[in-house]
């Protein structure tokens, strides 16, 4: 656990369903596409041993530095890459035995107010995972149309009343009223939703964060490229935290794990390219939820590439 209180989801000292399904073995190559603070990556590294190799990717350069501190300074079988997992097909990576992604927001994003991910503290309204590129949430709001804002809050935050929030935001932004800090954004949400605001604020910040980082677009690219990067027998596992992500993972896995059918007879033709590891997503146990409340929304799905 780091100074930020990070605990790897579905992989604590008492319950390890992540490894029950992904089964890392000595000598294997593992890609942790969202290394965060390195908790999962360190466990994979231990499992594959000195003959294996662990590749660690993160869009946040600060997270990547924290993750490096999990490993010995002279370690030879770990590669750190600053980048977005949407680009794994363009990174020149070798084929992998395991590709894993934990789509949750890491502890520093939530615990460091200056990252602008939390509505509990006042800070610059940023919300970018990668501070070296892209536009801040403040700029995103200021340059979006009212209709675009409505769509974002409706689709990414699954919020009722998204049209009213979009209208008020757009009106105030174009009156020259500032929207540069998390407190200013929070104040508008509170004014629109009144007593319901405490339950709406997490959805509003989530929607804005997803839009700023194009999280669903990045996930779509990962799901498109990752299966081809796996060796025969390779495993792909993803932990998601809201229904939009989980639905995308489920819908991407389904055709890969479904055998083709003869268009005339409906008979099964051959075997599917992948085998799904579980019928329903794995969720944290009650004991894990008690030890790590931040794992409460986690859903894990995995599949294995056939020979």
Mean pLDDT of 78-100: 97
Bridging pattern class, strands 96-102 and 29-32: parallel
Long-range contacts of 183-192 (CB under 8 A, 24+ apart): 183/122, 184/125, 185/119, 185/125, 185/137, 185/141, 186/119, 189/119, 189/165, 192/161, 192/164, 192/165, 192/168
Could you list the residue range(s) of the whole structural domain that residue 144 is in?
131-212
CATH number at residue 147: 1.10.150
Do 234 and 256 sit in the same domain of this protein?
Answer: yes
Residue 9 inside a domain? The answer is: no
- Looking at per-residue confidence, does 121 or 96 come out higher? 96
The sign one gets for the Cα dihedral 162, 221, 51, 62 is: negative
Residue 124 inside a domain? The answer is: no
Is the model's pLDDT at 177 over the cut of 90? Answer: no
Do 206 and 221 sit in the same domain of this protein?
Answer: no
Q: How confident is the model at residue 3 (pLDDT cuts 50, 70, 90)?
A: very low
Do 265 and 147 sit in the same domain of this protein?
Answer: no
Residue 146 inside a domain? The answer is: yes
CATH number at residue 265: 3.40.50.150
Do 98 and 220 sit in the same domain of this protein?
Answer: yes
Residue 289 inside a domain? The answer is: yes
Is the model's pLDDT at 4 over the cut of 90? Answer: no
Do 137 and 88 sit in the same domain of this protein?
Answer: no
Q: Burial of 94 by CB count in 10 Å (0-12 exposed, 13-18 middle, 19+ buried)?
A: exposed
Do 21 and 103 sit in the same domain of this protein?
Answer: yes
φ, ψ (nearest 5 deg) of residue 75: -60, 135
Do 148 and 229 sit in the same domain of this protein?
Answer: no
Using the 8-state DSSP alphabet, how is residue 100 labeled? E
Domain boundary among 180, 212, 244: 212
Contact between residue 164 and residue 192 where contact means Cβ atoms under 8 Å apart: yes
pLDDT digits (tens, 9 = 90+) for 24-53: 999 999 999 999 999 999 999 999 999 999
Do 290 and 152 sit in the same domain of this protein?
Answer: no
Average per-residue pLDDT in the chain? 91
Do 299 and 232 sit in the same domain of this protein?
Answer: yes
Do 140 and 87 sit in the same domain of this protein?
Answer: no
| Alpha-carbon span 253 to 56, nearest angstrom | 23
Do 26 and 151 sit in the same domain of this protein?
Answer: no
Mean pLDDT of 119-138: 89
DSSP assignment of 173-205: HTTT----BHHHHHHHHHHHHGGGHHHHHHHHH
Bridging pattern class, strands 268-269 and 274-276: unpaired
Residue 12 inside a domain? The answer is: no
- Looking at per-residue confidence, does 73 or 120 come out higher? 73
How many residues does the structure list for the chain?
Answer: 307
Closest by alpha carbon to 103, among 234, 203, 244, 202? 244
Total structural domains within the chain: 2
Residue 122 inside a domain? The answer is: no
Domain boundary among 212, 241, 262: 212
Q: Which tokens hold the place of 245?
A: 């992500």
Residue 136 inside a domain? The answer is: yes
Q: How confident is the model at residue 108 (pLDDT cuts 50, 70, 90)?
A: low
- E strand or H helix at 164, and its extent? helix 162-173
Domain boundary among 170, 186, 212: 212
Contact between residue 119 and residue 203 where contact means Cβ atoms under 8 Å apart: no
Do 67 and 100 sit in the same domain of this protein?
Answer: yes
pLDDT at 55: 98
Mean pLDDT of 259-270: 81
Residue 118 inside a domain? The answer is: no
């Amino acid at each position: 656990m780091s100074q930020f209180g990070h605990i790897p989801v579905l992989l604590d000292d008492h319950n390890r369903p992540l490894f029950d399904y992904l089964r890392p073995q000595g000598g294997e190559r593992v890609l942790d596409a969202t290394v965060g603070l390195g908790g999962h990556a360190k466990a994979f590294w231990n499992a594959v041993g000195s003959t294996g190799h662990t590749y660690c990717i993160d869009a946040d350069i600060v997270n990547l530095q924290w993750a490096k501190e999990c490993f010995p300074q002279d370690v030879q079988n770990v590669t750190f890459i600053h980048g977005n997992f949407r680009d794994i097909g363009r990174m020149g990576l070798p084929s992998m035995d395991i590709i894993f992604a934990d789509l949750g927001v890491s502890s520093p994003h939530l615990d460091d107010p200056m990252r602008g991910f939390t509505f509990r503290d006042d800070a610059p309204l940023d919300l970018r995972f990668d501070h070296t590129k892209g536009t801040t949430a403040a700029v995103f709001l200021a340059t979006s149309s009212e209709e675009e804002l409505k769509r974002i809050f409706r689709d990414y935050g699954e919020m009722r009343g998204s049209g009213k929030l979009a209208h008020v935001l757009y009106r105030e932004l174009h009156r020259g009223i500032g929207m540069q800090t998390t407190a200013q954004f929070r104040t508008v949400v509170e004014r629109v939703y009144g007593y319901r605001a405490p339950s709406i604020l997490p959805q509003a910040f989530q929607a804005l964060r997803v839009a700023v980082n194009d999280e669903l677009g990045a996930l779509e690219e990962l799901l498109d490229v990752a299966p081809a990067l796996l060796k025969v027998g390779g495993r792909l596992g993803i932990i998601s935290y809201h229904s939009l992500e989980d639905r995308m993972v489920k819908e991407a896995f389904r055709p890969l794990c479904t055998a083709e059918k003869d268009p005339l007879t409906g008979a099964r033709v051959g075997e599917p390219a992948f085998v799904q590891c579980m019928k329903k997503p794995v969720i944290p146990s009650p004991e894990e939820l008690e030890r790590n409340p931040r794992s409460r929304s986690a859903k894990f799905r995995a599949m294995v590439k056939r020979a």
